[in-house]
Amino acid sequence: MSTPETPKSLILLEAIPDGGFAEVEAEVEGSAESLILYREGHAVRAWLNVCPHAGRRLDWAPGQFLKTGDGLLVCAAHGASFELARGECVAGPCRGESLRAVAVRVVDGEVRQDVSAG
Ligand code: FES
């Protein structure tokens, strides 16, 4: 229904707290997926909401993610901790593995899926 080059709007930037998270549904490579969005000022990073440890969602309730005082995202299932620059697990059962990044960009105050980046 949408052309491959059309960036898909996922959420308004202002709907994500600065330094916080949101969860959205998006189509990634033809499959409906849950995404973790993390906002830092005007920048947003996104990953599949799938933990590399056992494949569970990381949120404890839809859109509710745990963040430590020193800025790590913690999987609610078994406590794997991920740094938020690259989504790499730095502590816990999947240390050294990473969340799978999804390309997004902020345009006109909207977070859009960057489908051109594949
Ligand atoms: S599924 Fe995330 S730590 Fe086990």
Å from CA of 100 to ligand 1 middle: 14
Q: Is the pLDDT of residue 5 over 70?
A: no
From the CA of 35, how far away is ligand 1's center (Å)?
16
By most ligand atoms within 8 Å of CB, the mutation choice from 66, 72, 94, 98 for ligand 1 is: 94
Answer whether residue 2 shows pLDDT above 90: no
For ligand 1, whether the C-beta of 73 sits within 6 Å is no
Q: Could you say which DSSP state residue 61 is in? A: B
From the number of C-beta atoms within 10 Å of its C-beta (0-12, 13-18, 19+), residue 70 rates as exposed
State if residue 93 touches ligand 1 by the CB under 6 angstroms criterion: yes
Span 31-41, pLDDT tens digits: 999 999 999 99
Q: pLDDT-derived band of residue 1, with 50, 70 and 90 as boundaries?
A: low
Instruction: Compute CA distances 19 → 8, 31, 56, whole Å.
Output: 23, 28, 23
pLDDT in tens, 78-101: 999 999 999 999 999 999 999 999
Distance of alpha carbon 58 from alpha carbon 77, whole angstroms: 7
Kindly list the structural domains of the chain, giving each domain's residue range(s) and its CATH number in brackets, ordered by start.
8-65+101-117 (2.102.10.10)
From atom 3 of ligand 1, which residue's Cα is the shortest distance away?
78
Q: How far apart are CA 91 and CA 87, in angstroms?
A: 12
The pLDDT of residue 4 is 53
Residue 31 corresponds to which tokens in the numbers above?
Answer: 């499959």
Contact 40, 1 (CB under 8 A): no
